[in-house]
């Protein structure tokens, strides 16, 4: 279980590093150290046996995110349409 989590998290974080560096090979020196430290931190903070995923929590967060996004968009639109507003 631990080895599977180590490999899965390492692969995901290595792919993230690759995407952030736009595939450049000269960034892997610090990248391997960064990925290794990030994997160690993720295993310490969320061990593989502790499943904290909740569908109810996910749907609640999606609702909260959409509500706040619409609210923020409406606020920005109102400020942009206000007369005499210097943007």
Per-residue pLDDT of 4-41, as tens digits, reads 989 999 999 999 999 999 989 898 999 999 999 999 99
31-69 pLDDT per residue, tens: 999 999 999 999 999 888 767 778 999 999 999 999 999
Contact in structure between 48 and 4 (CB atoms under 8 Å): yes
- Of 22, 18, 44, the closest CA to residue 31 belongs to 18
> Which residues lie below 8 Å from residue 52, measured CB to CB, with a gap of 6+?
46
pTM above 0.85, yes or no: no
Task: Kindly state the DSSP code that residue 82 receives in the 8-state scheme.
Answer: S
pLDDT confidence of residue 46: 85
Task: Kindly state the DSSP code that residue 48 receives in the 8-state scheme.
Answer: T
- Of 5, 6, 13, the closest CA to residue 34 belongs to 13
pLDDT confidence of residue 82: 85
């Amino acid at each position: 279980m631990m080895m599977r989590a180590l490999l899965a998290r390492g692969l995901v974080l290595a792919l993230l590093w690759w995407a952030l560096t736009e595939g450049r090979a000269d960034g892997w020196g610090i990248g391997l150290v960064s990925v290794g430290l990030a994997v160690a931190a993720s295993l310490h903070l969320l061990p593989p046996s502790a499943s904290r995923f909740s569908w109810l929590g996910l749907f609640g967060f999606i609702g909260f995110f959409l509500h706040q996004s619409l609210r923020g968009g409406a606020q920005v639109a109102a400020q942009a349409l206000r007369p005499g507003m210097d943007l």
